[in-house]
Chains A and B, each alone.
Chain A
Amino acid sequence: MHARAIILILLSSSFFQTAGSAEPASPLLPGIRIAIVGNTFAEQLRSHGYLETLLLQHWQEEPVSIRNLGWAGDTLSIRDRPTNFPTEESTLRDHQTDVIIACFGMGESFEGEKGIENFKTDLKAFIASHRGKQYNGESDVRLILVSPIAYEDLGELTPRLEERNRELQLYTDAMRKVAANETVPFVDLYGPTSALMSVPDAIPLTTNGIHLSAYGYWVVSKILYDGFFESESAIGEQPWRINVDAKTNMSEAKGLSISGYSLDRREISFQATELANPSLPPPTQRNLPKALKARRDTMVIKNLQPGKYVLTVDGQRVTTASHEEWAAGVAIDSTPAHRAGEAYRNAINDKNLQFVYSWKALNQVHIVGERRNSPSGRALPEEILEFNALANQKDAALEGGIELKTREWRLIPDTN
């Protein structure tokens, strides 16, 4: 079975479900303003930027604007904040929020089976607390619920493995049910991550069983993104795929359009016009499990003369592989477009950092808390406004995404 299909099957049983009725359309629309709230998983989305890169590039000309209001350790019912910290509602209004992506259930799940009813009650209360609120000043806010991920087996680091996964499954199911009853879109991360954690060639997704590594965020961001847009006719993210047959002179491509071939069995060159955004490279040196290989941009070249070949794009070296490897398909993720994509992701992370410096600045006691009147910290309130302005500037600069170009691709024998 095709790897992509496995992921699709993993996903299809899970998200945007409503009991028997038509699936609610995704509340994600061009140009909207999104807030992410929830636990450590939600909060750390901002450090890696994979999900946000996918979402911002989805409508490149009219991108969404995202503020991450996640807070480590948050649960639906306990969200400790510094004294006098601005309420979530005021921040949602400041951001003119249209859609809230809410990630809960990890901290709550430690209450086990006996905590399930409380969890459902808290979740309903959470949904009710936002119902009818117009943070954007015009229309009711929409919610998307996201389940916790599964608990990964990391040996000594991860005690009570089966029990904890049972609990996480229970909380995910509870969330699914409440979401369905309240007709709130829901994305299940438990199912797909659980499946991915158990494939034979899995690379660990987490650092401690419950928190994703950079690689984990790369993977899970794709699952989330697919989940958000699954009900839409056009699947959002499409990896580039170039198939070339050096013998038959046949070529086809997805995500790019190819022209100006010049090829023989020793050397191939063509112009490729980038139609879709490049897929960001996975932050790992290890071989991806089968199920995920297909999520990378790939070029397959069949029937090359035996030997090693190097791919250059606009004169820049991208990768080297043997004719067998080319025939099996080689991941392409360091072309100039990919580098631009990584730079774009870093710009997103920087925007988020400036927002953190503003919204969640250190020394809150001197800003809003117990020492807010202290003369020593009088510069801070002004400075956090400046940080916020910086975040807004950087957000505006993200508009338009990366530039897609027509570039010269060349495959030549590797003489090194």
Chain B
Amino acid sequence: MKAFLTLLTALAVHSISLSGQNASGIKTSNLVGADLDLMNNHDPASQLENFELLPGYEVNLFAANPMFANPVHMVWDSRGRLWVACSWAYPQIKPGDVANDKIIILEDTDNDGVADKSTVFADGLYLPTGIELANGGCYVGQSPDVLFLKDTDGDDVADVRQLALTGFGIEDNHHSISAWRRGPGGWIYFQEGIFLHAQVETQYGVVRNFNGGVYQFNPRTQELRMFCRGTGGNPWGHVFDHWGQSFMVNNPRIMYLTPGTGSSNEPTRLPPLISTEKQCGGDIVTGTHLPEGIQGQLLTGRFKSRTVVRYEFIDDGAGFSANVLEPIIKSKHPNFRPVDVKIGPDGAIYIADWYNSIINHAQHDFRDPRRDHSHGRIWRITYKDRPLVKKPKLVGLPIPELVDHLKSPEAWTRHQTRKELSERNPDEVLAAVENWVQGLDPETDQYAHHLVEAMWACQNVERVSEPILSRVMSSKSGHARSAGARVIRYWHDELSDPIGMISQLAKDNFPRTRMEAVLSAGFIPQAEAVPAALMALDHERDKFIDVAIPSTLKGLRSHWEPAIEKGELDFARAGHREFAEQFAGIGIDKRLIALIGNPDPPRGEISAVKRQFVSTPSEKLVSLVVNAVGKNAVQSDAVSVELLDGLRIVGARTELEATREFSTLLPALAHSNDAVAVNAASSFGSWQVSSAGPQLLDLLRDGDRAPEVRRAAAIALGDLSQTKYTNMLKSLARVSDIATRYHALTGLVAGDLEEAKAMIGEVLTQEPLDADPVALVTEFTRIRRGDTVLAGLLENVAIHPEVKRSVSNYHRQTGQLPHRLVDLFSDSSEDSLSLALVSENREALAQDIDRFGDAEKGEMIFRRESLACINCHGIGSVGPSIGPNLVAVGTAASTSYMIESILEPNASIAEHYENMLFTMTDNSLHMGSIVYQDDNEVIIQDSALGQEVKLPVGNIRSKQSVPSLMPAGLADQLKSREEFLDLAKFLSVLGDPGPFQNDERPFIRKWRVASATGGHPPKDSESWKPAYSKINGELPSADLGLGAPVFAKGFVEVQTPGSIMLNINRLDGLELWVDGEEISDLEKPIELNEGRKELIFGLDPSKRSDLGLRVLLQPANGSPVKFRIEGGI
């Protein structure tokens, strides 16, 4: 009863505060019971009560309003004071308002862990998104500007205000220049995200960037460079590890940036280390106060699910892999919104809490009345059993004493020491650092790192020390050598033999050193840097160095390509020269021949050769391909398929004419591999080889061939544009079995559109029998304005219900049917559930969802195959990525938004998922969401092909936004209104604290399930059907098949060997094989070596009844094991 009363009061208060407001942005579940009490309880004690920390940690309030409010970003100064950028104006000022955002200095003068002094350093700012200290003052990013503010009279109030840089992107301020951080070498790094255009004029030139990237700014010389381009997304964090490696929190991805920082100055597509939930700010755990177990981990704020989560990085070749770990702190308080995390001078963890029940300006109205403009918190986490660090005194220290702090075990102290040194006399600093290095004991543990610190200190004063670099290069630590290799990109001008250094480091034993050497080589503007970099080829490569090498080769292209062509460039090995030649496109014919002869060539080589063939086609290459495929000389079908596809593309674009040689290719039409036959037929079509007509016709008529082969033959016949064959298609379309009619008509769309238009209506009134009308319908949508044309033709046609059913079903599964056609093929009746729901009062519906919806039932509905949700949406680590991952969707979006997304998917489309239609210069069409774009290419997730496709920018004629891929009318697949309430409820609580929160403990979530009737796990992959665990980690019995014994297998990637323990919901009726070996005792530790492991569980249903399977992996006590459960689809 009490809860009910609270609710009533809440609603009453609510409606008053909202008078005149449209309430559709309000998440009604936030108003239920305790949540609302908490939301309106601004006593920090209410937050403290609701924190949950890892064992051993405690939290206290460091500072709160009114000392400051709305904290965005924090940075420590070398006196141990915390500078906080605060924005009252977010997300945008209103007409008549005066922007008055501030930078506030918080100080704990008595070292009791609580700030007792707050000073307004600067005001009158407008949306400061990042700050960093240098040159005795503070740089402030507030797009489009970077200001430099400085206090000259010692009152801690800025009295100098200069514009340092301007021209950064203004398109979306939640990802404009942010995540500011001084790097170890003294450059300041900051970044911007997707959609932003920047053009910044500097004395070194104009720096332009589009669609995200990381900038680096040298405060000493004021040089601005792009550190990395093409990162897109919402980049809200950037950290450097112990050895200066760069990691980016670029949501929802964690990225390792270094491989993408080469000299090509081109956007680089970096594969994420891991992709989870959106996060903001962050720091690497360092220092003696915090326990060993979490050192080196990344802490970052999950403002949606109100946790500060941890990531561990594990060396993986030249790069890293990453795992997500249990949060260090969680909160149930609706207003806790961690947006920045920094380790402080006392070794504690400081968390900036934006403190607002709503977040962001994409999901909630800019003018939502609940936007908070008066609160803010900074929390401080300490470890109970370990002493705090004593704040060092650095300011005013003589240089030699300052330099000695580079030895400090506290990263905080070393960082501030370098910063202090950067403002001292450069020559004195250089001398002191070189002297300090002389006195170091090479036998101590930290010697290598001290050397690297010394090197960074020199960088901070823009001085080059070859003696220190030489010591770093000959260090025993690969990490140190990799840091040395990186510095060459900044120092090469003043080094005696930078090329020699590169050749040495590029063949280092430690893979990351090789990669850094390759990257640095790119910045030395000499042809000889390339042979030096290619010394790296003597070792095994990996996906990280494979990003670095092309960047360096591109960056230096104008130097080495002319030299290699003139024969003036020497390489250490013939293989290195070949590599460079291949890169330059010299000797493509040789490569093609090698590819043809290779029975199992790598995927990358096939696509590289294909790309080269398509971009520089010649008669000779065409002839090579035609002969090789036709004469069955190609050793791998995959190669034939791709080369024929290349041939087709060349045929559509080139000026070249088909020669008589094309007859050699005719046997390929009879190839037993359908994909080869399809692409061969398409090639004949695109080259208009009329002599292939008779064979194509035979193929079309051949009822034994696969439908796609027959269809390809028909389309090719149409493409020939010869009356003879068009007439054949016409008569086949008129009188044949229905399948042949479909194919022939599909061919006519290309051959004689008018004729196809005349017949389409009649054909679609026929019963399809076993044939599938979908391809015929979609062929119309592949021509320009084809959807409009078809819609016109079918307006008064009584389409056969089975045709409607097939086409609607296709649309439900894929969302591919153009908007205009959806209704025409709709098989739902007038009184559909969708229509009924759409006409309901939105607010009342939202309330019903919150009150009556059953999230558990909703989850099972979500998983239902007929609803097709799981065909596009992943949740957390598993599932596809065609639509947005829904792991935390309930935390960010309102219930009304949820309703709208299901019933009217076009009304609100999540960022990055906007569906675009590209018309190419050859009139072909591609549809999908853009996953990456730069000046040269657009990569889309092609919704028709279900894979990524690269579209060269030059070949795009036009692009337009098209409706959501998510089909409308999905609700019609539900059995009742109750089911809708359940489904919507499930989505609206997804990610909220409770049973549906994002639980990232290592459960096996991706499964393959097979029947156990044979007694042994089947070997062939077809027998294994995909299945996925529920949010709670359990693979439900429904997915295991009821009654009969089954096998279920999951996969784990072991990064560091060791033993694991299984935590299983129940062991009854369970057997386990790991990589084929039976495990007798499931309760004992299992020893795993490195690599991908297959865990097969045998389940006996007689002993488990309808219990599902829930498997959690944990490191065995004390084991160093590191692993990652395989996710995805």
Question: A74 vs B911: C-alpha distance in the bound complex, in angstroms?
Answer: 28
Q: Is A312 an interface position by the 8 A CB rule?
A: no
Q: Are B197 and A362 in contact (CB under 8 A)?
A: no
Q: Is B427 an interface position by the 8 A CB rule?
A: no
Q: Are A210 and B201 in contact (CB under 8 A)?
A: yes
Q: Determine, out of B258-266, B363-371, B784-792, B858-866, the stretch whose residues face the partner at the interface.
A: B363-371
Contact with A along B842-855 (1 / 0, CB 8 A): 00000000000000
Q: Are B206 and A110 in contact (CB under 8 A)?
A: yes
Which of A39, A83, A376, A387 has a CB less than 8 Å from the CB of B364? A376
Q: Which residues of A contact B914 (CB under 8 A)?
A: 370
Residues of A bordering B, CB below 8 Å: 39-40, 43-44, 47, 71-75, 78, 80-83, 106-107, 110, 151, 156-159, 164, 207-211, 213, 357, 360-366, 369-371, 373-380, 383, 386-387, 389-390
Q: Which residues of B contact A164 (CB under 8 A)?
A: 203
Q: Are B201 and A378 in contact (CB under 8 A)?
A: no
Q: Are A73 and B170 in contact (CB under 8 A)?
A: no
- What are 9 A-B interface contacts by the 8 Å CB criterion? A72-B166, A78-B199, A151-B203, A357-B95, A374-B908, A375-B907, A376-B366, A377-B366, A380-B92
Interface of B is mostly: loop
Q: Which residues of A contact B94 (CB under 8 A)?
A: 383
Q: Are B203 and A374 in contact (CB under 8 A)?
A: no
Q: Which residues of A contact B96 (CB under 8 A)?
A: 386, 390
Q: Are B162 and A72 in contact (CB under 8 A)?
A: no
Q: Is B573 an interface position by the 8 A CB rule?
A: no
Given A82-B197, A360-B170: A73 in contact with B210 (beta carbons within 8 A): no
Q: Is B383 an interface position by the 8 A CB rule?
A: no
Nearest to B172 among chain A residues (CB) is: A365
Q: Are B170 and A82 in contact (CB under 8 A)?
A: yes
Q: Are A363 and B166 in contact (CB under 8 A)?
A: no
Question: A5 vs B96: C-alpha distance in the bound complex, in angstroms?
Answer: 46
Q: Are A362 and B173 in contact (CB under 8 A)?
A: yes
Question: A134 vs B532: C-alpha distance in the bound complex, in angstroms?
Answer: 61
Q: How many pairs of residues, A versus B, come closer than 8 Å at their CB atoms?
A: 145
Nearest to A164 among chain B residues (CB) is: B203
Given A80-B208, A375-B908: A369 in contact with B366 (beta carbons within 8 A): no
Question: A363 vs B361: C-alpha distance in the bound complex, in angstroms?
Answer: 10
Residues of B bordering A, CB below 8 Å: 24-25, 91-96, 127, 143-144, 162-164, 166-167, 169-173, 176, 195, 197-206, 208, 210, 220-222, 361-367, 462, 907-909, 911, 914
Q: Which residues of A contact B366 (CB under 8 A)?
A: 363, 366, 376-377, 379-380
Q: Which residues of B contact A387 (CB under 8 A)?
A: 95
Q: Which residues of B contact A379 (CB under 8 A)?
A: 365-367
Which of B195, B199, B201, B462 has a CB less than 8 Å from the CB of A369? B195
Q: Are A210 and B367 in contact (CB under 8 A)?
A: no
Question: A44 vs B201: C-alpha distance in the bound complex, in angstroms?
Answer: 12
Q: Are B170 and A107 in contact (CB under 8 A)?
A: no
Question: A164 vs B201: C-alpha distance in the bound complex, in angstroms?
Answer: 14
Q: Which residues of A contact B93 (CB under 8 A)?
A: 357
Question: A300 vs B169: C-alpha distance in the bound complex, in angstroms?
Answer: 51
Q: Which residues of B contact A207 (CB under 8 A)?
A: 162-164
Q: Which residues of B contact A157 (CB under 8 A)?
A: 203, 221-222
Q: Are B221 and A47 in contact (CB under 8 A)?
A: no
Q: Are B203 and A210 in contact (CB under 8 A)?
A: yes
Q: Are A80 and B210 in contact (CB under 8 A)?
A: yes
Given A75-B206, A83-B195, A376-B25: A362 in contact with B170 (beta carbons within 8 A): yes
Nearest to A106 among chain B residues (CB) is: B201
Query: Closest CB of chain A to B898's CB: distance in Å?
Result: 13
Q: Are A208 and B171 in contact (CB under 8 A)?
A: no
Question: A60 vs B93: C-alpha distance in the bound complex, in angstroms?
Answer: 33
Q: Are B167 and A364 in contact (CB under 8 A)?
A: no
Question: A311 vs B203: C-alpha distance in the bound complex, in angstroms?
Answer: 44
Question: A366 vs B362: C-alpha distance in the bound complex, in angstroms?
Answer: 9
Q: Are B200 and A73 in contact (CB under 8 A)?
A: yes
Query: Closest CB of chain B to A91's CB: distance in Å?
Result: 16
Question: A365 vs B94: C-alpha distance in the bound complex, in angstroms?
Answer: 17
Nearest to A212 among chain B residues (CB) is: B163
Which of B170, B195, B205 has a CB less than 8 Å from the CB of A370? B195
Q: Which residues of B contact A373 (CB under 8 A)?
A: 908-909
Q: Which residues of A contact B222 (CB under 8 A)?
A: 157, 208
Nearest to B168 among chain A residues (CB) is: A72
Query: Closest CB of chain B to A93's CB: distance in Å?
Result: 23
Q: Are A211 and B163 in contact (CB under 8 A)?
A: yes
Question: A134 vs B92: C-alpha distance in the bound complex, in angstroms?
Answer: 35
- Beyond A363-B92, A370-B911, list 20 extra A-B contacts (CB 8 Å): A40-B166, A43-B166, A44-B166, A72-B199, A72-B200, A73-B167, A82-B171, A106-B201, A110-B205, A156-B221, A159-B204, A210-B203, A361-B92, A363-B172, A363-B361, A366-B172, A373-B908, A375-B24, A380-B366, A390-B96
Q: Are A107 and B201 in contact (CB under 8 A)?
A: yes
Which of A39, A43, A364 has a CB less than 8 Å from the CB of B171? A364
Question: A78 vs B210: C-alpha distance in the bound complex, in angstroms?
Answer: 13
Question: A379 vs B92: C-alpha distance in the bound complex, in angstroms?
Answer: 11
Q: Which residues of A contact B363 (CB under 8 A)?
A: 376
Q: Which residues of A contact B173 (CB under 8 A)?
A: 362-363
Query: Closest CB of chain B to A148's CB: distance in Å?
Result: 10
Query: Closest CB of chain A to B135's CB: distance in Å?
Result: 11
Query: Closest CB of chain B to A365's CB: distance in Å?
Result: 5
Question: A366 vs B220: C-alpha distance in the bound complex, in angstroms?
Answer: 37
Nearest to A350 among chain B residues (CB) is: B98
Query: Closest CB of chain B to A314's CB: distance in Å?
Result: 30
Question: A44 vs B147: C-alpha distance in the bound complex, in angstroms?
Answer: 13
Q: Sort A-B residue pairs by CB-CB distance and give the 3 closest, nearest first.
A: A73-B199, A72-B167, A386-B95
Question: A74 vs B24: C-alpha distance in the bound complex, in angstroms?
Answer: 42
Query: Closest CB of chain B to A218's CB: distance in Å?
Result: 15
Nearest to B906 among chain A residues (CB) is: A373
Query: Closest CB of chain B to A122's CB: distance in Å?
Result: 14
Question: A389 vs B96: C-alpha distance in the bound complex, in angstroms?
Answer: 11
Q: Which residues of B contact A370 (CB under 8 A)?
A: 171, 195, 911, 914
Query: Closest CB of chain A to B161's CB: distance in Å?
Result: 9
Query: Closest CB of chain A to B90's CB: distance in Å?
Result: 10
Query: Closest CB of chain A to B175's CB: distance in Å?
Result: 10
Nearest to B161 among chain A residues (CB) is: A214
Which of A40, A208, A369, A374 has a CB less than 8 Å from the CB of B167? A40
Nearest to B368 among chain A residues (CB) is: A376
Q: Which residues of B contact A107 (CB under 8 A)?
A: 199, 201, 205-206
Q: Which residues of A contact B166 (CB under 8 A)?
A: 40, 43-44, 72
Q: Which residues of A contact B203 (CB under 8 A)?
A: 151, 157-159, 164, 208-210
Q: Which residues of A contact B365 (CB under 8 A)?
A: 375-379
Query: Closest CB of chain B to A92's CB: distance in Å?
Result: 20
Q: Which residues of A contact B127 (CB under 8 A)?
A: 362
Q: Are B92 and A72 in contact (CB under 8 A)?
A: no
Q: Which residues of A contact B171 (CB under 8 A)?
A: 82-83, 363-365, 369-370
Question: A415 vs B182: C-alpha distance in the bound complex, in angstroms?
Answer: 54
Question: A375 vs B172: C-alpha distance in the bound complex, in angstroms?
Answer: 15
- Name which of B210, B220, B362 has the most chain A CB atoms within 10 A of its CB: B362
- Name which of A156, A210, A363, A377 has the most chain B CB atoms within 10 A of its CB: A363
Query: Closest CB of chain A to B158's CB: distance in Å?
Result: 15
Question: A258 vs B280: C-alpha distance in the bound complex, in angstroms?
Answer: 66
Question: A389 vs B127: C-alpha distance in the bound complex, in angstroms?
Answer: 23
Q: Which residues of A contact B92 (CB under 8 A)?
A: 361-363, 380, 383
Nearest to B900 among chain A residues (CB) is: A375
Query: Closest CB of chain B to A237's CB: distance in Å?
Result: 26
Given A73-B201, A83-B171, A107-B201: A78 in contact with B361 (beta carbons within 8 A): no
Query: Closest CB of chain A to B930's CB: distance in Å?
Result: 10
Q: Which residues of A contact B362 (CB under 8 A)?
A: 371, 374, 376
Query: Closest CB of chain A to B370's CB: distance in Å?
Result: 13
Q: Which residues of B contact A73 (CB under 8 A)?
A: 167, 198-201, 206, 208
Question: A83 vs B202: C-alpha distance in the bound complex, in angstroms?
Answer: 24
Query: Closest CB of chain A to B461's CB: distance in Å?
Result: 11
Which of A80, A208, A363 has a CB less than 8 Å from the CB of B199? A80
Question: A71 vs B91: C-alpha distance in the bound complex, in angstroms?
Answer: 23
